[in-house]
Structure 1
Amino acid sequence: MEVPGSRSPVLLVVLAVCIGSRAQAQSSPPDPGCWSQVAQLPHDAVQFGHGVVEAPRNAIRPRNLKWELPIAAATGVLIGRVDAPASNRIQSLPFQHLAARWTNIGLGIELGTSGLLYGIGCAGHRSPHAASTGFTALEAIGAANGIAALLKAAMNRQYPYLRHSRGEFWEGGKSFPSGHSAASFAFASVLAHRYPHNPWVKWGAYALATGVSLGRLAGKKHFPSDVLVGATVGYVTGAYLADHSQE
Structure 2
Amino acid sequence: MPIAPPLRRRPLPFLAALALIVALLLIPAPGSLSVVATRWLASAGSGIAHVEVVSELGLMLLAAATIAAGLLAWFRHPERRARLGASAVGVVAAYAASEVAKFLFAQPRPCTRWPSQTECPPAGDWSLPSNHAALAFGAAVVIAVAVERAWLSWAVVALATLLAVGRVAQGVHYVHDVALGAAFGLVIPAAFAAAAVALRRARTREHERRDARDAPLP
Question: Residue by residue, what CA displacement relative to the aligned partner does 1:167-216 show, whole Å, maximum 9, x if unpaired?
Answer: xxxx84510011111111112223335555x2112211211111111111
Amino acid at match of 1:179: N
Task: Choose the corresponding residue for 2:139, options 187, 201, 224.
Answer: 187
Where does the alignment leave 5 or more consecutive residues of structure 2 unmatched?
1-17, 116-122, 201-218
Q: Are 1:110 and 2:62 an aligned pair?
A: yes
Tell me the secondary structure at the aligned position of residue 193 of structure 2: helix
Q: Spell out structure 1 runs of 4+ moving beyond 6 A.
A: none
Structural mapping, 1:111-150, within 5 Å: 111-122=63-74, 125-129=75-79, 135-150=85-100
Alignment correspondent of 1:201: 152
Alignment correspondent of 1:174: 126
Where does the alignment leave 5 or more consecutive residues of structure 1 unmatched?
1-66, 166-170
8 Å Cα contact 2:73-2:147 kept in structure 1: no
Task: Tell me the TM-score normalized by structure 1.
Answer: 0.57
For residues 119 and 74 of structure 1, what CA distance do their matches in structure 2 show?
35
8 Å Cα contact 1:98-1:219 kept in structure 2: no
Task: Tell me the TM-score normalized by structure 2.
Answer: 0.64
Alignment correspondent of 2:50: 98
Distance 1:73 1:205, change over 3 A: closer
Structural mapping, 1:49-68, within 5 Å: none
Tell me the secondary structure at the aligned position of residue 77 of structure 1: coil
Tell me the secondary structure at the aligned position of residue 245 of structure 1: helix
Amino acid at match of 2:36: P
Alignment correspondent of 1:158: 108
Alignment correspondent of 1:230: 181
Alignment correspondent of 1:19: none
For residues 187 and 172 of structure 1, what CA distance do their matches in structure 2 show?
26
Give the stretch that moved more between structures: 234-243 or 80-89.
80-89
Amino acid at match of 1:181: A
Distance 1:98 1:137, change over 3 A: farther
Tell me the secondary structure at the aligned position of residue 157 of structure 1: coil
Alignment correspondent of 1:240: 191
8 Å Cα contact 2:51-2:170 kept in structure 1: yes
Task: Count how many residue pairs are aligned between Structure 1 and Structure 2.
Answer: 171
Amino acid at match of 1:77: P
RMSD after superposition: 3.3
- Larger RCO (CA under 8 A, 6+ residues apart): 2
Amino acid at match of 1:242: A
Distance 1:210 1:78, change over 3 A: farther
Alignment correspondent of 2:11: none
Tell me the secondary structure at the aligned position of residue 244 of structure 1: helix
How much identity, in percent, do the aligned residues show? 23
Distance 1:73 1:202, change over 3 A: closer
Which is higher, the Rg of structure 1 or of structure 2? 2
Tell me the secondary structure at the aligned position of residue 177 of structure 1: coil
Post-superposition offset of 1:71: 2.7
Distance 1:78 1:138, change over 3 A: farther
Distance 1:134 1:239, change over 3 A: closer
Amino acid at match of 1:116: A
Alignment correspondent of 1:71: 22
For residues 99 and 137 of structure 1, what CA distance do their matches in structure 2 show?
30
